[in-house]
Amino acid sequence: MKSENYDSMSLKELRKEAKKKEIKYYYRLKKSELIKILKKEAMKNLDKKDIKKIIDSNPPMSEIRKIAASLEIKITRKMKKIEMIRLIKEKIKSEEKTTQNSKTVSSQNSIKIEKEIQKIEHEKQESVPKIPELPETYNKDKLVCLPVNPHWIHIYWDFSDETIQKLKNFKKVKLRIHDVTYIIFDGKNAHKTFEVEINPLEVKKYYFNVPNARANYIAEIGYENGTKFVPILRSNLVETPPNSPGSSKEEIWIDLKSLRKEKQRTKGMLVEPLKKEKKIESSVSPEHYTNN
């Protein structure tokens, strides 16, 4: 038996050896893993005749154990040397009967090695943490409006378990948008209110098309109790951005030295705004958005 002393080899040498032996994925294996596989491989490549010779030459116990391990013979600590030798001899005989040519044996061996490597690979992949998904809910009551453009508002919501239980009791749940431009909203004084029926337990966001740019909106989610709308959640205030020049008639100027302010009647802009390729005028159509 060629005694390759894998234990004393460096990682570089081990890799070289593994490459020579055509061990797959050798470059990804750790030093200890390489040694293990190389040793096994070395044993498996031993000719059966060589094994017999070794056994007959009264080898030390450690050598016998190695051979037994390579032939996948189960040995226990209590086993005597003679017993082991007997088991080895039997195993060789039976293998010689079933497999006439050694090529099959070696290809079987290579399949085993591949499996082993696959196992190691698999373990490695498992150890790479997958990105956990973000929570589906934070168990909090929340209704939030964000401005998209002059005519669209994005709304998202989340509920506490308590609210979910409450909502389950009502058939008609609605999302309302109130135009609250220039007013302090008291729940009833909106200039205009728009509503849609939603299934708030399945859908958690909505894009609302609103008529006015340069306006303030507040959203509410609530349920219908007879003819009455009972709000459960109210959102923050959202401002739709303007898409046309403002209407103020008064210019304010400041003198940067004296910091004195001075008012003048506006003459409008001295240069006309350039029409930017129809850009700003058209608000994006709803098919750009998905509502679920």
Partner 1 sequence: MYKGFFSLILHAHLPYVHHPEYEEFLEERWLFEAITETYIPLLMAFERLDRDKIPFKLTMSLTPPLLEMLSNVSLQEKYIRHMEKLIELASKEIERTKNESPELHELAKYYKKEFEDILNAFIEVYKCNIIEGFKHYNSKGNLELITCSATHAFLPFYKDYPEMVDLQLKIGIKAFEKHIGKKPKGIWLAECAYYNDLDEYLAKNGLEFFFLDSHGFWYAETPPRFGVYRPVMTPNGVFVFARDPESSEQVWSAQIGYPGDFNYREFYKDIGFEREYDYIKPYIDRSGVRVNTGIKYYKITGRVGLDKKEYYDPKIAFETAKNHARDFVTKKIEQVKRLIDNFEGEPPIIVAPFDAELFGHWWYEGPKFIEYFFRELKNQDVISAITPLEFLEKIDKVQIVRPAPSTWGANGFNEVWLNGKNDWIYPHIHEATERFLKLSKKINYQNKLHKRALNQALRELILAQSSDWAFIMTTGTSVDYAVTRVKTHLNRCLEICKWLECDKIDVARLEYYESLDDIFKDLL
In the bound state with partner 1, the residue whose beta carbon lies nearer, of 44 and 154, is: 154
Q: Print the binding letters for residues 119-148 with partner 1: x by CB under 8 A, - otherwise.
A: ------------xxxxx--x-x-x-x-xxx
Amino acid at position 149, single letter: N
Q: Which of 183, 187, 177, 175 is CA-nearest to residue 151?
A: 177
Of the ranges 70-78, 90-98, 192-200, 261-269, which one interacts with partner 1 (CB under 8 A)?
261-269
β partners of residue 282: none
Number of residues that bind partner 1 (CB under 8 A): 60
Q: Please, which of residues 150-169 interact with partner 1 by CB under 8 A?
A: 150, 152, 154, 156, 158
What is the sign, positive or negative, of the torsion defined by CA atoms of 228, 229, 231, 232?
positive
Binding status of residue 27 toward partner 1 by CB under 8 A: no
Is there a contact between 218 and 184 (Cβ–Cβ < 8 Å)?
A: no
In the bound state with partner 1, the residue whose beta carbon lies nearer, of 226 and 273, is: 273
In the bound state with partner 1, the residue whose beta carbon lies nearer, of 56 and 138, is: 138
Q: Which of 86, 87, 92 is CA-nearest to residue 44?
A: 92
In the bound state with partner 1, the residue whose beta carbon lies nearer, of 74 and 288, is: 288
β partners of residue 228: 225
Can you read off the two tokens belonging to residue 234? 């109210």
Q: Print the binding letters for residues 207-246 with partner 1: x by CB under 8 A, - otherwise.
A: x------x---------------------x--x-xxxxxx
Is there a contact between 208 and 219 (Cβ–Cβ < 8 Å)?
A: yes
In the bound state with partner 1, the residue whose beta carbon lies nearer, of 116 and 239, is: 239
Question: Exposed, middle or buried, 147 (CB in 10 Å: 0-12/13-18/19+)?
Answer: middle
Can you read off the two tokens belonging to residue 196? 């849609």
In the bound state with partner 1, the residue whose beta carbon lies nearer, of 82 and 271, is: 271
Q: Which of 36, 19, 38, 39 is CA-nearest to residue 27?
A: 19
Of the ranges 75-83, 90-98, 116-124, 249-257, which one interacts with partner 1 (CB under 8 A)?
249-257
Which position has the token pair 């079933």?
98
**Measured from the CB of residue 146, what is the shortest distance to partner 1 in angstroms?**
6
Q: Which of 33, 44, 48 is CA-nearest to residue 66?
A: 44
Which position has the token pair 């930017």?
276
- Taking CB under 8 A as the criterion, the residue among 2, 78, 80, 267 binding partner 1 is 267
In the bound state with partner 1, the residue whose beta carbon lies nearer, of 82 and 270, is: 270
Interaction site with partner 1 (CB under 8 A): 131-135, 138, 140, 142, 144, 146-150, 152, 154, 156, 158, 204-205, 207, 214, 236, 239, 241-248, 250-257, 261, 266-274, 276, 279-280, 282-284, 288-291
